[in-house]
Chain A
Amino acid sequence: MTHPGQRGFLLTAVFLFAPPAIAFAAGDYERRVMTLAGIYALAVLGYQLVFGRIGALSLAQGCFFGLGAYTTGLLGIHFGWTFPASFLAAAIVPALLAFVVALPVLRLGSHYFALATLGISQVVLLVAVNWTDVTGGANGLYGIPEVSILDRSFSSSEAMLVLVWGTLAVAVTGVSAMLRGRASHRLSVLRDAPEAAASIGIDAAAHRLALFLASAALGGVAGALQAHSVGVVSPAVAEFHVMVTILAMTVVGGRGHPAGAILGAVLLVHLPEWFRFLEANYLIAHGAALLLAVILLPQGLAGLFQRWLGEKPHFKPHTDVSSDRNIPAVRRASDGLEINNVEKRFAGIVALDKVSLRISAGEIVGLIGPNGSGKTTVVNVISGLVAPDRGRLVLDKQEIGAMGPHLRARLGLGRSFQSPATTPTLTILESVLAATSSNHDNATAQRLAESCLAFVDLSGWGVEFSGTLPPAKARDLDLARLLAAEPSVVMLDEPAAGLTPTERARLANRLKNLAEAGLGILVIDHSMDFLLPLADRVICLASGVIVSEGRPEEVARHPAAIAAYFGEGRR
C-alpha cells in the first residue's frame, strides 16, 4: 500500500508525462494542440493558487497571461532580447503589476476583489488596443522570434512540446514544494477561517501576496510561451474569454491539485476538436462545460481522485502523551498582559471607556457583563482585530498596540471566537498542526499537536475531517489549536456556551490545569455558576465601563454588578 503523498506524486507524474508522450507519437497537429494545453495548464496552475488556495475569484489571470505575451513579444521584436531573457521578463512584469495592485486589492471582499481584478484587466486591454505605436493596436505584433536557447532552435512542434511540458513539470514541482505539509495546512486555515488564522499567528497579507505574485508570474510565463509558439500577439490574448477559459479549466479540472490543472487544460483544449459543428463558436462548449462542472463537480475532475489521494495515514498517538495527560507546553509571560485606559467608539457610540485590566501568568480572570457591554470588543482590541481609539496594550513588557493580530499571536497571545471556526478541508490533526510555529521541525510540531489533542481528549479523532465534529468537540478542537500555538495568555470568548454541565465541568478542569502550568486566561461568560469556582478574579463590564472588579464572590454581591445584570430597580 502506497503512502498518499507518494500517490499524489505518482498521479501528478503520470499526468505530466502521459499527455505529451501520447501527443509526441500522434503527429504534428496533435503536438501543437497539446503544446497549447500545456501552456494553459501553466496559467491554470497559477490560477489555482489564487482561486483554490486564497479562495478568491480573481478575474486578472487572463490579463497576466496577455501581459506576459506582450512583454516577451515587445522585448523580442523591438529590443532583440533573446528568449531566455524575455521569457524571464514575461514572468517578472505581470508579477510587478500584481505587486502594485496587491495592497489595495487583496484586502477586498469577494465581490469587490472580482470587480477590481476585472477593472485592472480592462485597463490593460484598453492600453493594448489603443497604444498603437507600441502594441500595434488591434492588429497586434507580428514576427515574434521563434524560441532558441543557447543557439538551439525550438521551432519544431516536438521541441515546443517538450519545452512547454518541461516548463510545466518544473512549475508543478516548484508549486508542490511551496505547498507541502504545514504550509499547506496554514493556507487552508487562512482560506476557511481567516480570523482564526490570525489568532494562531498566520500572516494573512504575506501569504496572500506570495500566492498572488506566483500566480501572476505563472500566467505571464504561459502567455510568453503562447506568443512564441504562434509568433503573434494581439489584444485577443488579454480578452475576457481567455480568463473564462482559464476559469473553466480550473473548475473542470479541480482547483485543489496540480493534476487538476493538467486535466482541465487538456480536456478543454480538445473540446473544440470534439464539437466541430460549433466551428468558431466553440466557446459555447467551454461555457457549457463550465456550467456543468460547477454544478456537478464541485471538486472538479481531480476531486474524483480525492478519496484515493486524500486517504489519511492512520493516526497513532504516542502512548506517553495519552496515558499521563501531560499539559501541553505553555509559554510563561512573567509580566502577563496589561491594558491601560483603552477607549473605543463605533460611529460615536462608546463601546469601551477607559478600560484597564491585567491578566497575570497562571491567573484565570472572568469577564462578565450584559449583552452589548463590550466584552467581545475588549478581546477584539487586545487581539488586534479592532484598533482602539486610545490606550496602551502591553504583553510581557512589550508594547503590542501597533502590531497586527498575527504578530501578537506569535508573541504568545491566543484567543478563541464565540462560534468555533472550522476548516472543513483539513483533518483534526492537520488543523492543529497548522497552528504550530514554523520554527519547529516536523517531528516536534507533530508531537506538540498530538499532545494538544490528547489534552482535550481528541486523540482518537485525529484523522476525522474537522467539519464533521459535533459542536462540543469543535470547541475542544478550537482549544487544542489555540494551545498548539504555545500561547502565554489566552482569551476565550464564551467557551462554555452550549455545553452540558458535564462538559462545562471538564472545561473548567482543563482551564485550571492550564493556569497551574502558567497560562494566563481571560474567560468571557454569562454564568456566575461557571466562573465562581473557576476564576481567581472577575471583572464586570457594563456599557463599556468596568463597574466592578475583585474576587468572584465579591463581584457577585457588588451592587453595580447586580444593577448591570438585573436593572437599576433591583436590590
Chain B
Amino acid sequence: MSASILQLLVNGIALGAAYALIALGFVLVINAIGAVNFAQGDLVMTGGFVAVILADWLIESEAWTTWGLGVLVLPLTMVAMAALGILFSLFAYVPLRNRPPVSVFISTIAFGMMLQHGANAAFGPDPRNGPPLIEAGMVSFGSVGVSLQQISVIVAATFLIGTTRVVLFQTQFGRQLRATAQDQEMAEAIGVDGFRSIGLTFALAVALAGAAGMLLSNQFFVTPTDGGVFMLKAYIAVTLGGWGRLDGATVAAILIGIFEVMVAAVVSYVVAEALLYATLLLVLLLRPSGFLAESIQRRT
C-alpha cells in the first residue's frame, strides 16, 4: 500500500470517527424523544469554540502550558457541553414534550440558528484554530509515515464511543436511559425517572457533539457556519445505518468520512458532497429503511 493511500485512509477514518461521535449523539436523542435534533451540527461548532476559548484561557492565565493541552481541553469541553446539553433540553424539549415530534424539530432548528448567529456575534466569521489533541509528529509503519495527530483523534474517538457503549449497555444507568428511550411510560411505571433520563441523554449527546467539535477544531478550524454540514452528515449516517441504530450510525459515519476524504483527494470536495447527497436520495428512493433494518418503526 502506498504511503499516500494509507495516510488518506487514516485521515478518512479520523474524520469518520469524529462524524461517528456526532451521529451517536444524534441517534441517542432520536431514540430518547423520537425527534431529530437539527441543532446537533451547531452544537459541534459550539464545542469547537468552547475548546478554542478554554485553550486560550489556559495558556493566557498561565494555568497550563502547551504540553498535554489538548488532552486536558477535551474532557473540559465535554463537561461544559454536557451542561449546555441540559440547558438545551430545558429550552428545546421540555416545553414541547407533549406535542408532536415536529415541534421539537422546529425548536432545535431555532436553537441551532441562535447558536450559529450567537457565535458569529461573539467571535466573528473568521476561522479559529482549536488546540491539537497532541503535538504534531509522525509515526512510522515500516517505511510509511502517518500523522500522529490523526491517530490520536482516532484513539480518542474510539475511546469515547467505546465508553458510551459500556455506559449504555453495561450499567444500570445505561439500562435506564435505554428503557426510557424504548417506552417512557413503561420505564416510569417500573421506577425510572424518565425526566432525568432524558435530560442526561441530552447531556451525553451534546457532550459527544462537543468532543467532535474539539477534535475537528485543530485540523479543520472552526467557523460559526460549520454546523449545517455536520448535522447533515449525522442525519445521513443515521439514515444509511438504519434509523435509530447506534451501531449502524457509527459504522455509516466512519464510511462517510473515508468516502469523503478519498473522493476529495481523487476529484474534489464538491464532488464528494454531491455524490453523498445523491447516494442519500437514491437510498431513500430504493430502500427507505436504510441498509440495516430500522430498530424502531415509525417513531416520528
Q: Which residues of A are interface residues toward B (Cβ below 8 A)?
A: 57, 101, 104-105, 108-112, 114-116, 118-120, 122-123, 126, 130, 240-241, 244, 247-248, 251, 278, 280-281, 283-284, 286-288, 290-291, 294-295, 298
Contacts and interface: CB of A to CB of B under 8 A. Distances in A.
A240 B106 contact: no
Interface string B94-110: 01100101110111011
B106 A57 contact: yes
Contacts of A111: 30, 36, 243, 300
Given A104-B284, A118-B232, A291 B107 contact: yes
Contacts of B235: 115, 118
B200 interface: no
B139 interface: no
B274 interface: yes
A57 B274 contact: no
A255 B103 CA distance: 13
B264 interface: no
B58 to A, nearest CB: 28
Given A109-B300, A244-B109, A287-B113, A294 B96 contact: yes
Contacts of A101: 281
Given A287-B110, A291-B91, A294-B103, 12 more contacts: A57-B102, A105-B284, A116-B280, A116-B284, A122-B232, A126-B270, A284-B118, A286-B113, A291-B92, A291-B110, A294-B106, A295-B107
A245 to B, nearest CB: 9
B120 interface: yes
B103 to A, nearest CB: 6
Contact of A110 (B120, B274, B300): B300
Contacts, number: 110
Contacts of A119: 232, 236, 277, 280-281, 284
Contact of B102 (A110, A112, A120): A110
Contact of B117 (A114, A118, A284): A284
Nearest to A55: B102
B298 A123 contact: no
A109 B34 CA distance: 13
A284 B298 contact: no
Secondary structure class of chain B's binding surface, majority of residues: helix
A108 B284 contact: yes
Contacts of A130: 270
A288 B96 contact: no
A241 B300 contact: no
Interface in B83-142: 91-92, 95-96, 99, 101-103, 105-107, 109-114, 116-118, 120-121
A147 B102 CA distance: 39
B103 A298 contact: yes
A284 B121 contact: yes
B106 A251 contact: yes
A108 B106 CA distance: 19
A291 B112 CA distance: 10
A295 B281 CA distance: 32
A244 B274 CA distance: 22
B106 A104 contact: no
Of listed B110, B235, B270, residue having the most chain A CB within 10 A: B110
B285 interface: yes
B114 A288 contact: yes
B239 interface: yes
Interface string B266-300: 00001001100110110011001000000000101
B118 A247 contact: no
B46 to A, nearest CB: 14
A114 B113 contact: no
Nearest to A251: B106
B103 A120 contact: no
Interface in B41-71: none
A291 B243 CA distance: 26
A290 B112 CA distance: 11
